[in-house]
Structure 1
Amino acid sequence: MNTPEKFVYVFGSSRTEGAAAMKNLLGGKGANLAEMCRLGITVPSGFTISTEACTAFTEQGREAVFELIQGEVLAGVKFLEAEMGKTFGDASDPLLLSVRSGARASMPGMMDTILNLGLNDEAVLGLARKTNNARFAWDSYRRFVQMYGDVVMGLKPVSKEDHDPFEVIIDMVKAQKGVKQDTDLDADDLKELVQRFKSLIRARIGRDFPTDPWEQLWGAVWAVFESWNNERACVYRELNDIPASWGTAVNVQVMVFGNLGDNSATGVAFSRDAGTGEDLFNGEFLVNAQGEDVVAGIRTPQQVSLVGSRRWAELALVSEEERRLRYPSLQELMPDIYQQLLHAETTLENHFRDMQDIEFTIQQGKLWMLQTR
C-alpha cells in the first residue's frame, strides 16, 4: 500500500516534522525554522508547504494543486489554532499569519513577505479591543493591505524609476499632517491610509481587496508559487544553473509583533562581522517596528551590541552622549533580551558550524527568532 504523498510539514512547541537536512524539500528557510524548534529556540509556530507542491503547481496548475494540498493546509492551520488557542477567521480575537517564500537557494525576484494576514474591517476592531491599542491594530492593517496589494495583487512599481503608489499616499498623508515619520501618524491617520489603499486597489485593478481570511491565505500561497516562474527569477536561474524543477516552499507562521510599543522591536543580526570574520556579534534593530522597517531606511536603525553602537557613532560623527540618548544599543536598552539573543546566536553558530544571519522580533519583552541562514 502506497503512503499518500505529504506536502505540509508543521513546526512548533508541541511538534516539529521538519529538520535542517530536509532543505531540498522545505527550502532553506523552512528547514532552518524546523531545526531551530528542535534546538529549543523560541520560534513562532508554523507550517511549510513543500517545494514539491510548487513543482506540481508549475506542471499541473492551481486547481490540481488545490485538490492535492487543501486538506493538509487546513490541518496545518488547525495545528496553529491549537498552538495559539485562537481561531483563524475569528474577528473578535484574530489569529494572524505571515507568509514567506523559501527556496533551497536564495534568489532575487522571489515573493516578498506578507505580514498580518487575516485582518479585515471587523478583525482590526477585534485586534484593537484585544490589545487595547487602536494605533497598533490600524498600523498592522495598513501594512497588510500595502504588502498584499503590492505582492499578491500586483500594485508594485514596474521599474526603479516608478514611485510605489502606496508610499506616495503615505507621503501625502504625512505632509497633510505635518509630520516626518510614519510613527507620528495616529490611529485615525492609519485608518485613512487603509481606506485610501483600498480605493487605489479598486481603481487600479477593478476589484476589491479580499476580506475573507481564507481567500487571503490561498492568494498568498499561489503568489509564492507564481513568483518562482516570474521573469526575474527565471533569468537568475538560467544565469546560475538552478533547475526550474527545484521549486520554492511556502512558509506560513503565526504573527509576532515588533510594533506593539516601546517594549517591542524587530531586527537583523550576524553572529560575527560579515566583512572581516571577527567574532563580534552585531546587527541592527528598531523599537516599535515591523518587518522590513529595519532595511527600508524609514528611520535610523540602532545597533544590537554596545561595541557595534559605539563604532557606528564614531563613523556617523555622533557624540557618545547623543548616541546613548537617541540611539542606545539593544544591549543597553533591553539587556536581558540581548543576552537571550546572544545565547541563541552562539547556539546556532556552534550547531551549523558557520556564521549565522538571523532575523528576530521582540514582542512586549519576549524574544522570537524568525530566521537563520
Structure 2
Amino acid sequence: MLQVAFIRQNVDFVKERLGVRNFADIGLVDTVVALDDQRRKLQLESDTTLSKINAASKEIGVLMAKGQKAEAEQKKQEVAALKATQAPIAEQLAAVEEQLNDTLVRLPNLPAAAVPPGRTPEDNVTIREGGRKPVLPAGAMAHWDLAKKYNLIDFELGNKITGSGFPVYINKGARLQRALIQYFLDYNTAAGYTEYQPPIMVNEASARGTGQLPDKEGQMYYVGEDNLYLIPTAEVPVTNIFRDEILKESQFPIRMTAYTPCFRREAGSYGKDVRGLNRLHQFDKVEIVQLVDPVRSYDVLEEMVLHVERLLQSLDLPYRILRLCGGDMGFTSAMTYDFEVFSAAQEKWLEVSSVSNFESFQTNRMKIRFKDAGGKTLLAHSLNGSSLALPRIVACLLENHQQDGFIALPQALHGYFGADSIRL
C-alpha cells in the first residue's frame, strides 16, 4: 500500500508512474488527497474539542476543591455539551478514515524507474537467454501424452475426484514431484534460506497484507464458514510471519523458503493453452522470500534472479529472463523478472518463475518495520520469487529430455529421484 504522505508530496510523480502501469483510475490519487484533507480537518476539530474537554474537566476538580459547586456544575454542563459535539466528529472521522483506506488499497504499487513502458507481454524486455533448445526425436510427444505413456500423471482421474485442473501424480510421476521439491528446498537452504512449513490457509489480514485482497479476491478459493483463504502461493503465509513486528537492522537480510501446494481458481482460463500441466488449480511450488534493508533491495533482487537462473541451469533447460513492462506487472510489484522455459514439443515459452521487488508496498500493509542505526523506525522492503513452480518445469523436463524409449533426467536429480531416467 502506498503511503499517504508520499502521495501528497509527489502527486504528479505518482500519476506518472501509475501511467507506466496503464492504470485506468488515475483519479484515485486526487481522491486520496481530498479524503486526507477531510481527515486532517476532522482530526483537528476532534483534537481541539478533546483538548477543551480535558481542560474543562481539570477545572471542575479545582472548583470542587475550592467549594465552588455552582461554577463546577456549570463546567460540567460545558463538558457535556462539548462531548455531544465530539461524538459526531469522531463518527465522521472514522468514516473518512475507512473510506481513505478503502481507496488506498485500490492503488497498485509504483513501477521502478527501470520498468519499461508497455501494455502487454509483447512489450516485455528480454534480458538474457540460456541453455540450448533440444532437437527432439521422431515421434516426440507433448507432456500430457508422455505422462500417459509412462503412467506418470492421470488428468482424467483428477477430474473424476475433484475436477479439471487437479491432476493425480502416480508412481514415478509422484516420485519426480517429491524429488524436485526436495532438490529445490536443499538448493535454497544451501544458499542461506531458512525453511518454513507454513499453513496452507490464511486469514483475511494475511491475504490483505501481501496484496491478494482486494486485488485477486476472485482468484482465491474461499472457505466461507471460517473466513479463510487457500493460499495461491507460499509468499502469503511466509511474508506474514513478521507482520506487525519491529525488526533490528542486524537481522537483515531475512531469507525464507517454503514448499506448499498452491490453489488458484484461474477463472476464465480455457482452451489449448491450459492443457495438461500448463495451467492448474492446484500445484506444488517452492518459494523464496526476503525482507531487507531498503538501500539493498535492488541488489538483492539481482541476487535472487541469479539464484533462480542457476537452478534452471542445473536442470538443463533452455530459458529466458524477461523484465516485465508496466502493464504486465502484478498489482503489488515495483519490478518483476519472469523466467520462461522453452517447451520443445509445444514449441512455446512457458513461465516457471517470477522474481519481484515490492519495495515497501507489502510491508506498509503488514507494518513490518525496523530501527536503523540512528534509532529511526522505517519500513523494510520485501521480495519474493518462485524457486521453482513445478508443473511447467515437469512439462518441460518430460518434453525436452525425451529420448527413444525413455526420458533422461538431469544430473542434479539423479540422487533425489533414485535413477538417471524414467523408463517403461
Fold similarity call, TM over 0.5: no
TM-score (norm: length of structure 2): 0.23
Choose 1 or 2 for highest CA Rg: 2
Normalised TM-score (structure 1): 0.25
